[in-house]
Amino acid sequence: MSEWWNRLLNAYNGLEARERVLVSVVGALLGVALLYVAVVAPILRASDRGEERLATADQRLQVMQRLRRDYDDVQGRLADVEQRIRRGARSELRTTLESLAQQASVKVESMEPQASPAHPKYRETKVEVGMKNVTLAQTVHYLHEIDVAPQALSVKSLRIRTRPEQPDLLDVSFTVSSFEPI
C-alpha cells in the first residue's frame, strides 16, 4: 500500500501546476461525493424513514382516538340501556303492548310470542305484533309509545305493506323485545 501511495505522490508531483489544481479539484469533488454517499445519504434516508414512521404513528393515533371515542359512546349508551333495564317496570310484555296500543288508539290484530336467544345477564322476551288497516300516523304514534315506555322495550324488525284496495291504510308487523335482569 505504501508503494502504491508513493507512486501516486510521485505522479502528482510530476504534474504541471495547472494539472495539479485540476487533479486536486477532481479529488476534492470525489471526496465530497464519497462523503455524501457514505455519510449524508444514509442520514437523510434514516430521517425520511423516521418522518414516514412518525406520519404513520400519527395516523394510527388518530384512528385509536376515534375508536376510543366510539367505544366510549357505545359504552355510555350501553350503560343507559342497562340502567333503563334495571329500573324499568316489570310487567308482562303483551299486557304492556296492549295498554300502549290503547293509549295510541290502535287496534292490534295479533301478538305472537317469539323464541329469543339466551343471554347470561338478561332475559329477553319477544313478541311479534301485527296490525291491519292502520294509518301511518297511528303506526308512528304506537311505535313512539313503545319507544318512550318506562319498561325497556326495543323494536327489532318492522315490516310495512300498503293495502292494494286502500292505499292510505297499512298492514304493519314488528317484533318487540323486553329485557329484565336475571
Supply the pLDDT for residue 38: 92
- Alpha carbons 179 and 124: distance in angstroms, whole number: 5
Predicted local confidence at residue 7, as pLDDT: 87
Q: Which string of b and e fits 143-175 if b means at least 16 CB within 10 Å?
A: bebbeebebbbeeeeeeeeeeeeeeeebebbbb
pLDDT at 171: 93
Q: Which residues of the chain have pLDDT under 70?
A: 88-89
Q: What is the pTM of this model?
A: 0.59
Chain segment 96-135, per-residue pLDDT in tens = 899 999 998 899 999 998 887 777 777 888 999 999 999 9
Q: DSSP characters for 151-164?
A: S-EEEEEEEEEE-S
Please check whether residue 155 is in contact with residue 173, taking contact to mean a CB–CB distance below 8 angstroms: no
Parallel, antiparallel, or unpaired for β 110-114 and 170-181?
unpaired
The pLDDT value given to residue 153: 87
